[in-house]
Structure 1
Amino acid sequence: MKRHRLYLLQVAVIVAGLASCQPQQREGASTGSTNMDTKQTLKPTKTGYADVNGLKLYYEVYGEGKPLVLLHGSYMTIPLNWSRFIPPLAKDRQVIVAEMQGHGRTKDIARDISYEGMADDVSGLLKHLKVDSADVLGYSMGGGVAFQTAVRHPQQVRRLVVLSAPYAHDGWWPDTEASFATFTADMFKGTPIREQYDTFGNDPAHFPDFIKKVVSIDLKPYDWSKAVKSSQVPLFMAIGDADGVRYEHALELLRAKGGGKQGDLHGLPKSRLAVLPGTTHVGMLQRTHWLIPMITDFLDSDLSSKPPTF
């Protein structure tokens, strides 16, 4: 328990840094996103609630260009998860950011939280915004939602970026997977996660139920290997070398997507894998100086299988 409390304190330090430039918000107010280098606030061009599958799904839109959807991790919100990512990505893209069921300003409903259900919510949001197809980027829980969005709604996903997320429950390291059952509301006392939960107008008395409901999605076995491996949506997957996701799990997917061959001889696969050095699961959110160039290169690149020329 002490080890997991220490982990959450580390989470608190990182997400506090990510959101340190964010002003306090009233319920329903847009957050804006802060460029952590210049500390200038980028305002959304549009905010609102989409009526999808019984939810009033809160979303923000930034910038113009090809649409890119960002999906946050467990317990997170737009400012906690994406403050470092939105400004550089919105320079030449339309960045669509949502808060999933029960998170932030999207109030919970009498429905189980599931990866499949949240993927259907993303599909509904794109329809609400009249976006036919978008690139989808998900982190941790959001990565699972991204996988499921590509599987369940492939016509709406152009390219897929997954950070620090498995496509089967045993893709986590065994001790990581075992730790989920130990999470309690008390472990979040004094963290930005708890503070934003209250700030965005949620019932503080419901917080323990929120923790249990969110963690429940990782307490039951799931395996999307067949569907994810056979998906035709090009994928860029990134994990840290000290992440919660097993190396072999990520490599298995890359091989299924055409990797495991010398590109100079056989051409490049349409999908990619990066293992970031010195990077933990939560620390992935601090690696924008590495990730943003890799993400934009993947999204903008010609994914032909021709070998490189000199």
Structure 2
Amino acid sequence: MKKWTKRSLTGILAGVALFSLAACGGEKEEVRLTDKVTLGVTGGPHQQIAEEAKKLAKKEDIHIEIKTFDDYNTPNTALNDGDLDANNYQTIPFLETQKKDKGYKLSIAFKTVAFPMGIYSDGLKSLKDLKKGDKIAVPNDPSNEYRALKLFEDAGVLKLKKGVEEKATKNDLAENPLDLEIVELEASQIPAQLKEVKAAAINTNFAMGAGLTINDDSIYHEPTKNNPYPNVFVVRTDNKNDDAVKKLEKIYHSKEMKDFIAKEFNGSVVPAF
């Protein structure tokens, strides 16, 4: 009995020691991004840009595998969980909100492009033509609703309360001189509802999907240069300074990429670097 106990105890201790070493090693192990990068994007312009980056990356001996998503939440979850190596589809306020709410250990590697938000109308040629009681539409998600209201404020249509943050809604107005009815809608649905309102702030990717462009169709829009809402290339924090990330930054900021963006998107998508 004593021998069995001694042998068992020795085996258990050895197993614990091996487990401890493996656990310690697991905590210290950091997976570096090298010549293969799995990149998450949303469909549309980001996917098109990723396809161009994939071609350019071959010259740097980097293979990019593209995974396309149709929602804004999954790509960050997938990146944080290790199913992606990077993603490119979101603005800084959206990323910071997700990090705060979900505890993701993600970091911005570099800025990529901006999608200037525009105000569109099926009947008006100028926001000066708005009349008392008219309906205007804005996206109903937190970061985009604030952005849309700020755009109407910049155009002189209304005024937000001082100090309101990114999650401001139509209830945070300080002034609404025309007593406009502000309709909050799912961002992707606004183009289809454009005939039902006098004017609407539409995210560029959804505007493009409806055949609308900033330069040709909007009656007011955010600046195309130094846009305040750049999209960012995001990685896990441990990978922020990896050589592969630095190479990808050069690719996304290259003249070839600038020329591609200018030719492909007619000003609706602009470089943010």
Give the TM-score normalised by the residue count of structure 1: 0.28
Structure number with the bigger relative contact order (C-alpha 8 A, sep ≥ 6) is 2
